[in-house]
Amino acid sequence: MKRPFVTKEQLEALTQQFPTPLHLYDENGIRQTARKLKAAFAWNPGFREYFAVKATPNPAILKILREEGCGTDCSSLTELMLADKCGFSGQEIMFSSNDTPAEDFRLAHKLGAIINLDDFTHIDFLKETIGTIPETISCRFNPGGVFTLGASAEGFQVMDTPGDSKYGFTREQLFEGFKKLKAMGAKRFGIHAFLASNTLSNEYYPTLAGILFRLAVELEQETGCDICFINLSGGVGIPYKPDQPANDIAAIGEGVRRQFEEILVPAGMGDVALCTELGRFLLGPNGCLVTKVLHFKHTYKEYVGVDACAANLMRPAMYGAYHHITVAGKEDAPCDHKYDVTGGLCENNDKFAVDRMLPEVELGDLLVIHDTGAHGFSMGYNYNGKLRSAEVLLQSDGTARLIRRAETPEDYFATLTFEE
């Protein structure tokens, strides 16, 4: 059974101050999750989580994570600017981009970020852009083929196809790229890979680690490059459905440790630092979308219309993704009514739930849409002229703080030009 991290009474109080729809985040949950992750990899002295800014690009969230020892993973100019404004500097920033504009590389270099190259041709492009190759550099590896493992958080077998992905170096390009980068002045190297998304398996990270650790040994032996860090990226998922078991981050960390000691330590590489980019794992369950019931529609189906829409949470419309829904105050009521829960966009896929069994819903009820703390607000947009919602932080002391105001029509029109 999924229960919200906030009570009906708390929701009623904060929605008096901050109208729905709104994205709500749980500071206690964020800190506790970050500490569990850090403890799971405490055996690796150089470990650092580089939080994927794209998941939840809000200064208040980033500052909490910085206090918990995290860095940031940025993929664009503005994400770099945001990380800089939030106090991250130097190698606290990982810049992992693709199809990268020159100005993005220039800012990453100016900030002293670790640049994680996505493509072999970017080696020369980076040199031409900033005039040098940084002494610390990383490259993204794409092994090609098909990667199969267990179950995903959506309930399906994990079978991602790296060979169809636009990201990363081939194996041959990686070896050639390391040799080239070394000849151009690079001294400290990292490798990065991402093979599967949102997995619910304690074996994914250890399996990926084994692949990258063996690759690192071969790279160092063949190229003579000093591999200082290995970035396991993201992919550790969360249970969106109430009957799915959560990943055990302690067991995952232990699985990675075993691979580390079996592969890297005997090769004399026991000082390699590990990195992660677990945006969804850290923030997903620690955020929710709060929305109010506005209408009912009784036609061929029973529809509940709410004041949020796909512009506030794209994942169900875009991916058919499941997000659990709680009717605030009815957590223990029987789920004996079947509804489609819909927003107001002029698109038929604007549905947060289809044929979902819920307690009887009434006008004015507050619905909590779970697990939206990552890739929720950040994927918002203004289609149909919809305005992006506020973001609110439920602080450790129980008070609520506005951390991003809701957009206004003035914001929507601010970038437009009209002929006089």
Residues labelled catalytic:
346
What span, in angstroms and rounded, lies between the C-alpha atoms of 143 and 126? Answer: 23
- Which tokens is 175 given? 């070896």
What span, in angstroms and rounded, lies between the C-alpha atoms of 143 and 170? Answer: 6
- Which tokens is 91 given? 């190698």
Cα–Cα separations (whole angstroms), residue 38 to 243, 322, 396: 27, 29, 20
What span, in angstroms and rounded, lies between the C-alpha atoms of 116 and 100? Answer: 11
4: nearest Cα among 305, 324, 361: 324
**Element containing residue 413 per DSSP (H, E):** helix 409-413
Strands 287-298 and 22-26: what pairing? antiparallel
Residues 6+ apart with CB under 8 A from 229: 46, 138, 190, 272, 273, 274, 275
Q: Give yes or no for a contact between 379 and 315, defined as CB atoms under 8 angstroms apart.
A: yes
Could you give the 3-state DSSP secondary structure of residue 147? Answer: strand
What span, in angstroms and rounded, lies between the C-alpha atoms of 366 and 293? Answer: 6
Bridge partner list, 26: 394
CA angle 144, 148, 154 (to 5 degrees): 120
Could you give the 3-state DSSP secondary structure of residue 338? Answer: strand
Strands 337-342 and 351-358: what pairing? antiparallel
Task: Say if residue 415 is exposed, middle or buried (CB neighbours under 10 Å; 0-12, 13-18, 19+).
Answer: exposed
Supply the DSSP symbol for 262: I
User: Is there a cis peptide before residue 21, judged by omega within 30 degrees of 0?
Assistant: yes
Q: Give yes or no for a contact between 376 and 313, defined as CB atoms under 8 angstroms apart.
A: yes
